[in-house]
Structure 1
Amino acid sequence: MAAYITPVVNSTAVFKDGLFDGKVLFCTGGGSGICKAMTEAVMRHGAHAAIVGRKLDRLTTAAQELSTATGKLCLAVQADIRRPAEIQAAVAKTIEKFGRIDLVICGAAGNFLAPISKLSENGFRTVIEIDTIGTYNTIKATLPYVRASKGSYIHVSATLHYRGTPYQVHVSAAKAAVDATSAVLAVEEGPHGVRSNVIAPGPIAGTEGMDRLGVREGNGAPSSLLSTMPAGREGDVKDIANAAVFLFSDAASFITGQVIVVDGGNEHLLKFGLPYPQAVLDPDSVTKMIRPRL
């Protein structure tokens, strides 16, 4: 008997077209993958957007694609979110272009597979700086404008820190801090009319994250995750985008300080992809199963 497979739908099939008319989205990491899909969905419902990242060529191409696909304006702004002055300048350019910021996605992230014994101090620090400090810098730079518009934040996290996930100490620490930061932001800024929530994606097919982190078979092909997917399929970027549209909408006006896991139920059947305890006793023996660090 075949298992039921949940469908993938576009947000426009569920939510009204002008949901975010007159609003402006500010998204870090919006040049590719999950964050680009989230930006596109919000734009399809009426918002203009600014996408922020370090690679201007990628951002410019993505901004053009997003504008063409949605008919809304998308501004590409180069900035390293680890540097407060650069993210502040990106916010200033957004305000100069659009005059406001209503919605913020803190999505820039970095990750790779490495056991603690082989993870350098610099590697650990870099992920903390991008994921955690970058999120804080983005909040600080955008908060006056989000307060003014009674807007909302979405932070992109992960499910790795819900249990001890080998080879992921750096991102587990970083994302746990992001979750905590969002909760404090929700409590402190709620009286000002600001909401803050977290989306924790599971494995999403076709993304750079899955390409980098997915465990490889002996022939180099990615391992299948379908056996741990109660929803019967791999995640799609639209799944995350749909969650973002909902959380930013007035339908979620009483939802703040929450972590929304979007993983097709994967967390409940999650297994460590590398052989355990072999992977921690002899890390060199599993190097061929891991994509080389970029």
Structure 2
Amino acid sequence: MGTLDGRVAVITGGARGQGRAHAETLAAAGADIVVCDIAGPIASVPYPLSSESDLAETAKLVAAAGRRCLAVKADVRSQADMNAVAERAIGEFGRIDILIANAGISSNSPIAEMDEKTWQDMIDVNLTGVFHSFRAVVPHMIERRWGRIVATSSIVGRMGVKAGGHYAAAKWAVIGLVKSLSLEVVEHGITVNAVLPSGVDTDMIQNPVMWRVLLPDIENPTREDAMKMFNSGPPNGDLIQPAEVAQAALMLVSEHGRHFNGEAVSISGGMSASLI
């Protein structure tokens, strides 16, 4: 028997990267999966976002694990879209037990030069998208008096970062949102936590735009250049694999994690050791 047998999980940003890892990991533990993703571009994001074929591939991987999967194209910036995802999940599976609010984007600009669109897209996806996801599923969980929610924040939210103030601000705010909701729903048998990874080996980091930000002294940095940098730090300071984050989320949504509530769980290879 799996630790999540009989459970139904909704995962935002599930077409690839961390979202896909969450889908595969929870499915392997016995859960049926609903994945949603924008599966299209956002103008201020400088690297290609996921596609509908990526979303379909995640569904295939869940099916290969022996679980059912509903894949939905949806934009977390829209409350109507997220409400529709929840309604479809309940219509297909009869319930929602777990939410992984994972959808997120990255872009880079110094605050003094940042245009309004770049700022607003970041807040709309990385913060308001989490709110919309919470708002769509929490009333159902309250009615059923059980639920497990995990949101993807970032260790950057506790640190700040050059040319990424909008990203850090959104991720810091996610922690506050998680802690606040945890207080509101604990009496209904619902837990709410955040995971705070450092760099994860996904397309959000592994793209030419990010390589140029990380390696400004190299004219045309490559993935190989970036990996040398990531692997040159202290032990365990290399890029985190998406499956590692998914394993942490699995613990939080299973019975093993029932005493975690309102927590911000860092997965940072030691980066958090220097933070208060």
TM-score class, shorter-chain normalisation, is 0.7 to 0.9
Structure number with greater Rg is 1
Q: Does 1:237 pair with 2:242?
A: yes
Q: Measure the CA separation in 1 of the matches of 2:249 and 2:187.
A: 22
- Aligned pair partner of 1:48 in 4, 16, 32: 32
Q: Could you tell me how far 1:232 is from its partner in structure 2?
A: 5.6
Q: Measure the CA separation in 1 of the matches of 2:145 and 2:26.
A: 17
| Ranges in structure 1 where 5+ consecutive residues have no aligned partner | 1-16, 271-294
- Counterpart in the other structure of 1:115: 110
Q: Aligned to 1:211, what secondary structure does the other structure show? A: coil
- Aligned pair partner of 1:57 in 46, 53, 56: 53
Counterparts of residues 1-294 of structure 1 (less than 5 Å): 17-55=1-39, 56-68=52-64, 70-147=65-142, 148=144, 150-205=146-201, 207-212=202-207, 213-214=210-211, 215-216=214-215, 217-221=218-222, 222-223=225-226, 224-231=229-236, 233-268=238-273
Q: Return the TM-score normalized by structure 1.
A: 0.81
Q: Measure the CA separation in 2 of the matches of 1:254 and 1:185.
A: 16
Code of the residue aligned with 2:243 in structure 1: it is K
- Counterpart in the other structure of 1:7: none
- Counterpart in the other structure of 2:45: none
Q: Could you tell me how far 1:77 is from its partner in structure 2?
A: 0.7
- Cα deviation, 1:50-109, whole Å, max 9, x if unaligned, reads 0011123321222122211x1101110111111111111111111111000000000111
Q: Could you tell me how far 1:255 is from its partner in structure 2?
A: 0.8
Code of the residue aligned with 1:133 in structure 2: it is T
Q: Measure the CA separation in 1 of the matches of 2:187 and 2:274.
A: 38
- Counterpart in the other structure of 2:42: none
Q: Measure the CA separation in 1 of the matches of 2:189 and 2:256.
A: 15
Q: Could you tell me how far 1:226 is from its partner in structure 2?
A: 2.6
Q: Could you tell me how far 1:268 is from its partner in structure 2?
A: 4.3
The answer (yes or no) to whether the contact 1:228–1:269 under 8 Å persists in 2 is no
Q: Which runs of 4+ in 1 moved over 6 A?
A: none
Q: Measure the CA separation in 1 of the matches of 2:94 and 2:168.
A: 36
Q: Return the TM-score normalized by structure 2.
A: 0.86
Q: Measure the CA separation in 1 of the matches of 2:130 and 2:237.
A: 33
